Amino acid sequence: MIPVTRPFSPPIAEYQEYLKGIWQRNWYTNNGPLVNELELQLKQYLKIKHLLYLGNGTIAIQIALKALELEGEIITTPFSYVATTSSIVWEGMRPVFVDIDPETFNIDPKKIEASITDKTTGILATHCFGNPCDIKAIAEIAQRHDLKVIYDAAHCFGTNFEGKSIFHYGDISTTSLHATKLFHTIEGGAVFTENPETLRKMAYMRNFGHAGPETFQGLGINGKNSEFHAAMGLCNLKYIDDILQSRKNQAAYYQQYLSKPEIKMQKIQEGSVYNHAYFPIVLENEAMALNIKKNLEKIEVFPRRYFFPSLSSLNYVGQIATPISDDIASRILCLPMFFELSEVEQHMIVRRILRALKYQ
């Protein structure tokens, strides 16, 4: 079976070495030494000043919304994983969907201002599949309307924009370190900000607001992560450059053999160093996409319809027309991408897709 992705697993002996230390210290959670070490190494690798390691990417978005004291309406994208939207609703705000650019699959900045009202307090945009949004245009809009910007950069580990990690941008950037991501800590997430005071605020928030054993600094929640998860991150960080290179090679293989008139590929933002976290293809129509999916599944290859359906169709949000997102969502397939995927397996996938196109 070839799934759409498979977690990277470091040599088990390396993980076991960290486990021995955890056992000896008997310190399993609550901001332990491995959590601190992972935060330090991530800052060094990413060339980032400030970050906090969290329990998952969803709590990262929720803490970001709270830390910036947002309320009312939040401009966001309909083409993302459900956590982008559900976090807004969970925190008592209203998501206002702005349709996407048909080439980049990111929120279309040319359509944002028409959706801004006196209730709008922020923009929550996703760098879809690790492809940077039009960061400059969004920053200009936010400045004109006095809005805060949060980037859902869940797919973005290893992506750079104009010489900096993508996590530099926005008032707060969030990411996921879930096992499905190219760099993972089994479960995990992080928040990034250039503002030291915002970081301080979020540091209290991730630990129930504790400012000491018996004192509290405002409202908080349990956003912490464990030593066991941090240990996996420390193991995997040693291999991140190899992981990124393997994704780049796999993407180049797909690109070479699937550049066909019937197949559209995502346009990557200029000025980016892309991490090749995913390989989405968009077919001419939904029937063609479903036919390819069916043909691949017959040989136990499992692409995914990321992201279907559009989030504007969720039953707990106000209905807003997003025809471009709806259209792309109906025709998209993400092909298998993971460290152990071989060229032989890719060849089989490509042949099956081309055959399905020929005999549809």
What is residue 266's predicted lDDT score, i.e. its pLDDT? 98
In this prediction, residue 359 has a pLDDT band, given cuts at 50, 70 and 90, of confident
pLDDT value at position 38? 98
Tokens representing residue 32 in the block: 């332990």
Identify the CA nearest to 69 among candidates 205, 212, 224, 168.
205
- Return all residues near 109 (Cβ < 8 A) that are at least 6 apart: 133, 134, 137, 138, 141
Q: Which of 203, 237, 271 is the last residue of a domain?
A: 237
Query: Over the stretch 302-344, which tens digit does the pLDDT of each residue have?
Result: 999 999 999 999 999 988 999 999 999 999 999 999 999 999 9
Q: How many other CB atoms sit within 10 Å of the CB of residue 339?
A: 17
pLDDT tens column, 142-153: 999 999 999 999
Q: What is the pLDDT of residue 340?
A: 97
Confidence at residue 27, expressed as pLDDT on a 0 to 100 scale: 97
Q: Are residues 18 and 66 in the same domain?
A: yes
Same domain, 128 and 155: yes
pLDDT of residue 319: 83
- 209 plus 270 within the same structural domain: no
Q: Two tokens at 312?
A: 């504007």
pLDDT at 92 over 80: yes
Q: What is the mean pLDDT of the chain?
A: 97
Could you tell me if 93 and 194 lie in one domain? Answer: yes
Q: Are residues 227 and 245 located together in one domain of the fold?
A: no
Q: Among 176, 202, 237, which residue terminates a domain?
A: 237
**Residue 304 in 3-state DSSP?**
strand
Domain end residue (candidates: 180, 202, 237):
237
User: What CATH number is given to the structural domain containing 301?
Assistant: 3.90.1150.10
Q: Is the pLDDT of residue 360 over 90?
A: no
Range(s) of the domain holding residue 116: 12-98+107-237
- Cα 125 to Cα 58, 97, 107, 141, 168: the distances in Å are 14, 10, 7, 13, 14
281: which strand partners?
Answer: 265, 333
Same domain, 314 and 226: no
pLDDT tops 80 at residue 254: yes
Phi-psi region of 353 (alpha: psi -120 to 50; beta: other; left: phi over 0): alpha
Same structural domain, 253 and 183: no
Question: Nearest to residue 74, comparing CAs of 106, 98, 99, 108?
Answer: 98
At 267-282, the pLDDT tens digits run: 999 999 999 999 999 9
Please list the residues that pair with 97 across neighbouring strands. 76
**Percent of the chain scoring above 70 in pLDDT:** 100
CATH code, domain carrying 169: 3.40.640.10
Mean predicted confidence (pLDDT) in 30-54: 97
Q: Mark whether 207 and 126 lie in a shared domain.
A: yes
User: Looking at the domain assignment, is residue 6 inside a domain?
Assistant: no
Q: Which two tokens stand for residue 317?
A: 């949000």
Contact indicator for 111, 138 with CB cutoff of 8 Å: no
Q: Identify the pLDDT of residue 358.
A: 84
Distance CA 41, CA 45 (A): 6
193 is a domain residue: yes
For the sheet containing 51-54, what is the strand order? Answer: 51-54, 189-192, 172-176, 148-152, 120-126, 73-76, 94-97
Q: Is residue 256 part of a domain?
A: yes
- DSSP helix/strand/coil, 121: strand
Q: What is the pTM of this model?
A: 0.97
Query: Are 57 and 168 contained in the same domain?
Result: yes
Q: pLDDT tier at 154 (50, 70, 90 boundaries)?
A: very high
Count the domains in the chain.
Answer: 2
